[in-house]
């Protein structure tokens, strides 16, 4: 039997024709929980419909979406009416929705909200517990799948920003039943490595059930009790998990987590250059200001120089000396004039002057002037002072008159 070889396009087209010709698949009702819901700017709705074991991708074009009487969201339980078909370009089948009936909130979404409320009340989300990230980490621990896109994104960003930072990868399951325990072991292992500065917990995007491992209560406590700061980059920007609320910093994607943790060497060098320029500028400004200040002080010192003061004091002393000499000369002249007057007066009353007129002075041998005759009776020896000298004499007798 000859079997024709088909191209991929022909195969997808053949499968699409088979599915499109099936009456049941073209008129189908499916119930499940909405996950990974996105509303495109065009108005089309893209989401997954899932139960506890499986999921299917869905699309509702804007013409059908306009007829909805509610806004769908993750966690809604709904019944979808539509048809199953193949998207030939990707080779996947998906549910094209014509109607959507809301039934209620899904079990996973309820469990997520209940755990979030519990941990928030216990203080695991408190900003007071958030540890600061190291500014310049030397070694970064990464917990993620070793084969996923997340680790490639982190390595690319880290290499571009700062290739000198060492990356230590702990390969872990990031989806499935045992993923939470595996991630917990990774946190415990990296906490025991002393020179690990910070930990990145990362995973690519996915539906709520694909990210469910990061909504585990034990994992939340492991993140909370970690000695090393933890940055989460789980899913896309619109994806939030429990560990995002507990971690020290939440990034929208794995790449964004690397941007946050790894400092840019280019930015650091640029900052150092700016600081260097500012330092040189400020040093030159300070030196210039100090130099100008010294010049001002030097001028002030010259004006108020001690030598100038000393010279001025010399002049002052000289003037005082002149004044003193003048005052002394006046006083001496006055004293001299008074002395001459006294001398003249003394000379006028000098008893020795009388001797030149023929008079004499008689003294006893003790030098006492004898001015009465009764004294001669007691002593006969006397000294007679004449104009031209003295003689000693004895008086032999006295005639009394």
CB contact set of 97 (below 8 Å; sequence gap of 6+): 45, 58, 59, 60, 64, 80, 81, 82
At residue 379, the pLDDT reads 62
The 10s digit of each residue's pLDDT in 27-76 is 899 989 999 999 999 999 999 999 878 899 999 999 999 988 788 988 88
Give the ranges where 231-264 is alpha helix by DSSP (H): 242-246, 254-261
The 10s digit of each residue's pLDDT in 360-394 is 788 887 878 877 777 776 667 888 888 778 888 88
* Third-level CATH fold of 8-105: OB fold (Dihydrolipoamide Acetyltransferase, E2P) (2.40.50)
At residue 285, the pLDDT reads 94
The answer to whether residue 109 scores a pLDDT higher than 80 is no
At residue 267, the pLDDT reads 87
The domains of the chain are located at 8-105, 112-125+137-263, 354-394
Distance CA 181, CA 285 (A): 61
By the 10 Å C-beta count (0-12 exposed, 13-18 middle, 19+ buried), 47 is classed as buried
* Tokens standing for residue 296: 């001002």
| DSSP assignment string, 151-216 | HHHHHHHHHHH-TTSEEEEEE---SSTTHHHHHHHHHHHHHH-TT--EEEEEE----TTTTGGGG-
* Confidence band of 398 (pLDDT split at 50, 70, 90): low
By the 10 Å C-beta count (0-12 exposed, 13-18 middle, 19+ buried), 317 is classed as exposed
Contact (CB, 8 A) for 209 and 32: no
Half-sphere exposure of 5 (CA within 13 A, CB side): 0
* Confidence band of 352 (pLDDT split at 50, 70, 90): low
What φ, ψ does residue 345 adopt, rounded to 5°? Answer: -65, -40
The 10s digit of each residue's pLDDT in 280-337 is 999 999 999 999 999 998 888 777 777 777 777 788 888 888 898 999 999 999 999 8
Angle at 169 between CA 167 and CA 172, to 5 degrees: 160
The 10s digit of each residue's pLDDT in 226-284 is 999 999 999 887 778 999 999 999 998 999 999 999 998 898 888 899 999 999 999 99
Considering the chain, what is the average pLDDT of its residues? 87
CB contact set of 217 (below 8 Å; sequence gap of 6+): 115, 119, 242
At residue 168, the pLDDT reads 94
How many CB atoms are closer than 10 A to CB 230? 26
Task: Give the DSSP letter of residue 33.
Answer: E
| Strand pairing category for 361-364 and 55-60 | unpaired
The listed CATH number (3.40.50.261, 3.40.50.300, 3.40.630.20, 1.10.150.20) that belongs to domain 112-125+137-263: 3.40.50.261
* Tokens standing for residue 379: 């002593």
Distance CA 139, CA 199 (A): 9
By the 10 Å C-beta count (0-12 exposed, 13-18 middle, 19+ buried), 98 is classed as middle
How many CB atoms are closer than 10 A to CB 88? 15
What φ, ψ does residue 361 adopt, rounded to 5°? Answer: -120, 130
């Amino acid at each position: 039997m000859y079997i024709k070889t088909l191209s991929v396009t022909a195969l997808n087209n053949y499968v699409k024709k088979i599915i499109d010709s099936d009456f049941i698949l073209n008129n189908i009702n499916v119930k499940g929980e909405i996950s990974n819901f996105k509303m495109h700017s065009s108005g089309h709705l893209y989401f997954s419909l899932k139960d506890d074991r499986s999921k299917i991708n869905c699309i509702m074009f804007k013409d059908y979406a306009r007829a909805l009487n509610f806004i769908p969201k993750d966690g809604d339980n709904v019944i979808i009416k539509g048809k199953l078909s193949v998207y030939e370009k990707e080779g996947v089948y998906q549910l094209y929705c014509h109607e959507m009936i809301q039934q209620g909130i899904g079990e996973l979404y309820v469990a997520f909200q209940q755990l979030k409320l519990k941990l928030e009340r216990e203080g695991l989300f408190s900003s007071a517990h958030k540890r600061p990230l190291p500014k310049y980490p030397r070694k970064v621990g990464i917990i993620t799948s070793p084969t996923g896109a997340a680790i490639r994104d982190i390595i690319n960003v880290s290499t571009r920003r700062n290739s000198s930072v060492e990356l230590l990868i702990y390969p872990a399951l990031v989806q499935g039943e045992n993923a939470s325990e595996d991630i917990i072991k990774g946190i415990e292992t990296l906490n025991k490595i002393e020179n690990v500065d910070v930990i990145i917990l990362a995973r690519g995007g996915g539906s709520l059930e694909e990210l469910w491992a990061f909504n585990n209560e034990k994992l939340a406590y492991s993140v909370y009790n970690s000695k090393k700061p933890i940055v989460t980059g789980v899913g896309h920007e619109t994806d939030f998990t429990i560990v995002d609320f507990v971690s020290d910093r939440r990034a929208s994607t794995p790449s964004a987590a690397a941007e946050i943790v790894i400092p840019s060497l280019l930015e650091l060098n640029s900052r150092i250059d700016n600081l260097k320029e500012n330092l040189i500028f400020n040093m030159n400004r300070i030196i210039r200001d100090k130099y100008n200040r010294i010049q001002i002080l030097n001028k002030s010192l010259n004006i108020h120089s001690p030598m100038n003061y000393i010279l001025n004091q010399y002049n002052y002393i000289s003037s005082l000396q002149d004044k003193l000499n003048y005052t002394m000369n006046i006083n001496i002249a006055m004293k001299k004039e008074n002395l001459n007057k006294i001398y003249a007066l003394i000379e006028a009353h000098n008893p020795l002057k009388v001797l030149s007129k023929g008079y004499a002075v008689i003294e006893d041998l003790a030098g006492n002037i004898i001015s009465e005759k009764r004294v001669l009776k007691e002593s006969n020896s006397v000294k007679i002072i004449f104009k031209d000298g003295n003689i000693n004499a004895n008086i032999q007798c006295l005639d009394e008159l």
